[in-house]
Chain A
Amino acid sequence: MSLAKPDATDISNKQKIALAIGIIGLFILTLALFNTNFPNQGLFLTLALGLISVGIVIYSRDAYLTKLEGIKNDGVWFKSISSRGVWGWIVGVILTAFYIVLYFFPKYLGLGTDGTENTGLIKLFDPLSKLLSGRPASQWFVYGTLYTVAILAFGYKFILKYRHNRYQQLRTGSVMFFQLGFAFLIPEFMYVMNNDLPYYDLKSIWPLNYYIFDEWSVKGFLSNGNIGLALILFGIISIFVITPILTYKYGKRWYCSWVCGCGGLAETAGDSFRQLSSKKMSAWKLERWLIHTVLVFSVVMTVAMIYTYLGYDKNDFWLTRSLFIALVIGFLSIVFAGVMLFKRKELGKDAKYGAIAFFIVISALLIMHFTGTTKNIFYIKAGTLRSAYGLYIGSIFSGVIGTGFYPILGNRSWCRFGCPMAAILGFQQRLFSKFRITTNGGQCISCGNCSNSCEMGIDVRHYAQKGENIVRSSCVGCGVCSAVCPRGVLKLENDSMKGRINPTEILLGNDVDLMDLVNKK
C-alpha cells in the first residue's frame, strides 16, 4: 500500500515557531562547539538551554492542549522522525557522533587537558559548573546538564501527552525528580561539602554503576571517614537488600521507569521512538543471550577487579582474596540452588542455560583464584577486563548504541539488550515478584496497539489474546500498553504470587465446561 505522508501530520504554525526557538538554542551550542567566544558565557548558556526548553514547552502545549484528552499517536508511523525516515536517520547519526566524541574525543568539545582552560562547548558550561560546585565544567558536566534538560523538557511533553493518565504523570514526575536531584544536583553539592569523595549518583546501582567498586572509587570512599563508609555501604545495600525488596513488591518498574536515569531519558526524550523496537521472536532470542552475557561479564569483571586490590593476609584487611572468592561463590550457589529448588518449573527449558551460565561463572572464578597473580588474572593484565568492560559495555553499548540509535532501534535497546542491572531485576521479576500485567478476561481484540507501543519489544498481544497475564523479565512497567489499549484489557498490578502465571487456551466468556476441560487438564 502506498502511504504518502498525510498532510494532517504537518505541524501547525505555532509548532514551527517553537521548533525555530529550539533550533536557535541548539545553534548557540553549535557555535560554542566551534569555539565562538561569547562575551558573557553565563548569559549565552542560559539563553541556549532556555530557548531549547521553551521551544519544547510551546511545541508540546500546542500539540496536546489543543485537543481533547486521550491517546495521541496519530501519524507516528507517518512522521519521518519517528518511523526511521530521513529525519530519524539524521538525528540518529548526530546523536551517535555526539556520543563518540563525548566518550572518546572530549577535547573536540573543548575539554582543557593538563590544567589548561576549557574552550568551546565545555567552556560555555563553566559558569554553571562553578556556580554549583566551584570547579570548571568537564565533558560529563556538559553531558549531565543536557541530559537533565532533556528529561525535564521532554518529561513535561510526556505529562501533557498523557494528561488523562495519572500513572504516566506520576512516574514521569518521578524520573524528572531523580534526574534533577540525585543524578545532577546532589553529586555537585556533595563535591562542595567534601571534594575528595568520588562522584556518586545514589540511585545508580551496581552493576549499572560498574565503577563503584573500582579501586580508586572504594579507596575514595574509605579514605573519607564515616560519610564515605556510609556511601559505599549504601551502594552494597542497594543491590543486595533494597533492590530485592522493592522488586518483590512492585516489579522492576520501581527502578527502570520510576528512578533510573537511562530509563528516564528513554521514557521522556525517547518516547517518540518506542514503537521502533523489534517484536520479532528472533529479537527476543538475541535479547536473552545478549543481556545475560553482559550480566555474566559484569559479575566476573567486578569480582576480578575487587580481587586484584585485596590482599592475601587478613592482618591488612579482614576481607582477603580467599575469603572474598569464597563469599562470592557461596552467594551465587545459594541463589542458584534456591532457584533450582523452588522455581525449576517456571524456568522451563531456560533452567539448562541458567545452569550452564552458573557453572561458567563459578569455574571462571576458581580459575582466576588459582592462576591469578598480583599482576595478572586469567593470564591477562589486571585491569584489562575492567577497561574492556568500560569501553565496550559502559561506553559503546549503553551510550553510543543505547542512546545514539534511539531513532533506529527504539528507545530502550540498552535497557533491553545490555543493561546488567535490568537483567538482575528482570530475573527476580520473572521468578519472585508480585508484579504482573493482568489481562481482562476475554476482552482482547488482538489489535496490536500494546505490542506496537512496547519499548522493550515484548509482544504483549501474544499474551493478551490468550487471556494470559504478562510476566516477562524484560517488562519495565511503563504502562503504555495499558494506556493505549482501546478495550481496557491490560492493568499493571501488584498482587499475590499465586495464579500470577496463568496460561490459558480458552478465554473467559465461552462455555464454562469447555474452559474447564481445556484449561485445567
Chain B
Amino acid sequence: MEEHIVIIGNGISGVTAARHIRKLSDKKITIVSSETEYFFSRTALMYVYMGHMKFEHTKPYENWFWDKNRIDLKKGFVNNIDTDAKKLHFTEGDSLKYDKLIIATGSKPNKFGWPGQDLDGVMGMYHKQDLENLEKHAPSKEICKRAVIVGGGLIGIELAEMLNSRSIPVTFLVREDSFWNGVLPSGESEMINRHIKNHHIDLRLGMNLKEIKSDKNGKVKSIIIQETGEEIACNVVGLTAGVSPNIDFIKDSNIETGRGVKVNRYLETNIPDVYAIGDCAEQHEGINGRRPIEAVWYTGRMMGETLAQTICGNRIQYNPGHWFNSAKFLDIEYQTYGWVFGERGRPEYEKHFHWKHEDDTKCITVAYHKDTNHFLGINTFGIRMRHESFDTWLTEERDVDYVMNHLSEANFDPEFYSHYEADILSAYNKQLQTA
C-alpha cells in the first residue's frame, strides 16, 4: 500500500506539491478544499469580474488532468486535525486518514475589529466566494452607487480596477500618506498615486476607517472616516488591509502555530509527518531578509516544489533564490528583482538611483550599497525586464555601474517598443557627477 499524502488546500502551493510528488513517486495523493472543486488561479479572479475571462478560464488544468495524474480531489472543510490518529475530521461529519499531511490553506483577509465589518456588502477580495459576493452586491453602477475600499495594497488596487471596469465610483482609503509606500520608494509610490487619480478613483491618502454604518436591513449604508469624521454613502465596502494565515481550524490541534503554522527550514512542523507551505506557513526566522510569512504566489509555488522532494525521500531545505515579485497597478506593470526598500525599514547602506519618464507611467529605482557599490535590486514600472538577467547579476554580485551599463540586455519589452536605457544611463551618469 502506497503512502497516503493528504494536502489541505488546492491553491498554487498545494497543487505544486501534489504535481511534483506525482512526478517523483506513485504515492496516493488527495487534495482537500472547501473553496472549489478544482484548482484555479486566485490572481485571475479579478479578470472574471472585469469580463476578460470566464471563471473556467482561470483553471490552469483541464478537469481530466487530476484523474489522469491520479490526484484525488475532495471537497470538504476540515474541522480539526487529530495528529495522534493521523486523521482529518470534516464539518460534513466524515474523516480521512493520512500518512503525511501538508497544510497549504493560504490566507484570509484581515479584519481589524471595525464596527460593522460583518455587515452585508462588506467583503474581502480573496476567495471565489468573495467574487460571487461582489457580483451580488456590485453588479452594476445602478445597484452599487459607490464602493469604498479600505487598505492600500495590491488587492486594494485590484479591487479598485475591478469596480472601475463597471463604472462604479470608488473611494479608496489608504492608511499611508502615499500608496503602498511601506514597500515602494516615494518616487514610485507618488507616480502610482497620480495614475490612480487619472483613472477617476477617489484616492484618500492618510485616511483610516472608523466604522461602517448599516441600513435597517443589515446592509452597508455608509462609512465614517476616522481622521475627518466624513461620512461617505456606499453600497459595498472592500476590506483589503492585508491578509493573514488561514489557520483557525488548526488552533486546537497539537501543531504549533504563531501567526501562521510554525515550520523549520524543511517546512516541517513540530509534529512528525505534518508540513506546511505557502501563505499559511511561518518560518521561525525570515530567510535572507525575507519575512517569516510570505504571502506571495511565487513563494508558495517554490515551497511546493521543495517539499515534494522532502516528501519523496530527498530531504532538502527551503532555500529560495533572489527575491522577485510583480504586480500591475491599473495600466502600469511593476516588477522587482533583489531588494529595494521604501522609506520604512531601509538599511542605512542602501542608496537609490531613480529615473522617471516624462509621461509619468514609467520609472525605475535601482538600489545599491553606498560603500561597496554592489547592486542590491531594482524596481521597474512600465518597462518589462528580464528575470534571468537580474538573477545572474545578483548572483555574480555585480556593481551598480555594471548593471546600469548593461541594462539594455535585461529589456523584455515587446519588439519595436521605445527603449529608455540610454536616457536612464545618461541620467545616472549625470547624477554621479553632481553627487
| A interface with B by C-beta (< 8 Å) | 1-4, 6-9, 68-71, 73-79, 164-167, 170, 275, 280-281, 440-443, 445-449, 451-452, 461-462, 465, 479, 482-484, 486-488, 491-493, 505-514, 517-518
Contact = CB atoms under 8 A, between A and B. Distances in A.
B298 interface: yes
Chain B CB count within 10 A is highest, among A165, A445, A492, A493, for A445
A280 B62 contact: yes
A512 B321 contact: yes
Closest 7 CB pairs of A and B: A441-B387, A70-B331, A488-B384, A447-B44, A8-B166, A75-B51, A7-B140
A488 B412 contact: yes
A500 to B, nearest CB: 15
B305 to A, nearest CB: 5
Given A7-B140, A447-B41, A514-B305, 14 more contacts: A76-B52, A77-B51, A166-B416, A167-B416, A445-B41, A446-B41, A446-B43, A487-B327, A491-B384, A509-B387, A510-B321, A511-B318, A514-B309, A514-B316
A76 B47 CA distance: 11
Contacts of A440: 384, 386-388, 412
A515 to B, nearest CB: 8
Nearest to A512: B321
Given A7-B142, A487-B326, A167 B414 contact: yes
Contacts of A441: 324, 386-388, 391
7 contacts: A170-B416, A441-B324, A443-B326, A445-B44, A447-B58, A508-B387, A512-B395
B306 A76 contact: no
A392 to B, nearest CB: 31
Nearest to B165: A74
Given A445-B41, A510-B302, A492 B166 contact: no
Contacts of B314: 517
Interface string B1-27: 000000000001000000010010000
Contact of B305 (A280, A488, A510): A510
A107 B51 CA distance: 43
Contacts of B386: 440-441
B391 A448 contact: no
B306 A514 contact: yes
B116 interface: no
B319 A514 contact: yes
B331 A509 contact: no
Contacts of B141: 7-8
Interface in B292-329: 297-298, 301-302, 305-306, 309, 314, 316-322, 324, 326-328
Nearest to B166: A8
Given A170-B416, A280-B62, A482-B414, A488 B333 contact: yes
A443 B328 contact: no
Interface string B130-172: 0110010001111000000000000000000000011110000
Given A7-B166, A8-B167, A70-B331, A508 B44 contact: no
B132 A1 contact: yes
A512 B305 CA distance: 12
Given A281-B62, A441-B386, A441-B387, A448 B53 contact: yes
Contacts of B57: 448, 451-452
A6 B140 contact: yes
B167 A70 contact: no
A118 B78 CA distance: 76
Nearest to A494: B415
B333 A506 contact: no
Contact of A509 (B12, B302, B385, B412): B302
Given A281-B62, A440-B387, A9 B41 contact: no
A506 B414 contact: no
A491 B412 contact: yes
B107 to A, nearest CB: 15
B388 A508 contact: yes
Given A443-B324, A486-B333, A511-B320, A6 B43 contact: no
B198 interface: yes
B328 A486 contact: yes
Interface string B60-86: 101010000000000000000000000
Contacts of A448: 41, 44, 47, 53, 57-60
B54 A77 contact: yes
A2 B141 CA distance: 17
B225 interface: no
Contacts of A505: 20, 23, 305
A71 B386 CA distance: 21
Contacts of B387: 440-443, 508-509
B60 A461 contact: yes
B380 to A, nearest CB: 9
Contacts of A518: 305
A408 to B, nearest CB: 16
A9 B388 contact: no
Contacts of A484: 52
B428 interface: no
B52 to A, nearest CB: 4
Contacts of A170: 416
B335 A511 contact: no
Given A447-B47, A448-B44, A491-B412, A511 B321 contact: yes
A405 B413 CA distance: 34
Contacts of A461: 60
Given A165-B414, A482-B414, A509-B387, A449 B47 contact: yes
B50 interface: yes
Nearest to A166: B416
Interface in B367-417: 384-388, 391, 395, 412-417
A443 B335 contact: yes
